[in-house]
Amino acid sequence: MNKIVLITGATSGIGKACAEKFAAAKHNLIITGRRQERLDELKATLETRLGIAVLSLCFDVQDKAAVAAAFEGLPAEWKKISILINNAGLALGKDSFENADIQDWETMLNTNVHGLLYVSKAVLPFMIEQKAGHIINLGSVAGKEVYENGNVYCASKFAVDSITKAMRIDLLKHNIKVTAVNPGAVETEFSLVRFKGATAKAAAAYDGFTPLTAMDIAQTVFFCASLPPHVCINDLSITCIQQAGTYYFYKNQ
């Protein structure tokens, strides 16, 4: 049976690859992001190519009222969400604690932590009503080990790690699975955003090794979502073969 899969941050990178992967398996999708034109383009492509239904919702996950309004206003048939992929997120800057920008810190915490909480709170009543659901949070290896100049980005992903664990415990009674997928370096728009459009600096983030692709992560998320109803992957970390943890890389000589 086709499920409804909600993917936040589907306009780029891992979220977009998840949309393609779940659409290919004939699931219907709710895709979100702030860039309406990218949402429109993805919806048109997936509906035409794969014959699935796609609903796009354009909002900023930092905006609590906008998040609540988007989900309260869903047509009844779209409220039967089976899988929520909390993917929208970003890093801003990679500076030593004393030099980092406070506004960047706030944006990361508001997006990666508050945004994930707002969306989860809005969607959970639909899953509780169905007595089933699966929440998959995009954490990071940066939520397992802090690295130099990673400070508040790492803190935001440590928060995702603990929120995921807390959700899993509290939602046991509702038959809702909660999974964290924690990638190492994945080549997406992540570094371009982190370095605020500085293309050379962003590209240099992947110098000397072959990073994961967005589709590698989408396949992993899809795997977690495809296991039998009684099985829940709790926590899955994944890196490319040239990375171990957050700071060990074996780069091309």
Residues in contact with ligand 8X3 by the rule CB under 6 A? 140-142, 150, 184-185, 246
**Residue 118 among the catalytic residues:** no
In Å, what is the CA distance from 58 to each residue of 29, 36, 67, 71?
14, 6, 9, 11
Whichever of 14 and 57 has its CB closer to ligand 8X3, that residue is 14
Alpha carbon distance 50, 45 (integer Å): 8
Number of residues counted as binding ligand NDP (CB under 6 A): 29
Residue 185 engages ligand NDP in binding (rule: CB under 6 A)? yes
- In angstroms, what is the minimal distance from the CB of 116 to ligand NDP? 8
Beta bridge partners of 138: 181
| Amino acid identity, position 32 | T
Give exposure, 183-213, as e/b (b: 16+ Cβ within 10 Å).
bbbbbbebbbbbbeeeeeebeeeeeeeebbb
Stretch of 184-192, 195-203, 224-232, 245-253 contacting ligand NDP, by CB under 6 A: 184-192
Alpha carbon distance 8, 87 (integer Å): 5
Stretch of 55-63, 71-79, 165-173, 224-232 contacting ligand NDP, by CB under 6 A: 55-63
The token duo for 245 is 């943890």
Whichever of 124 and 160 has its CB closer to ligand NDP, that residue is 160
Q: Residues in the site for ligand NDP, rule: CB under 6 A?
A: 9-15, 33-35, 60-62, 87-90, 111, 115, 138, 140, 183, 185-186, 188-190, 193, 214
Question: Which residues are marked as active site?
Answer: 153
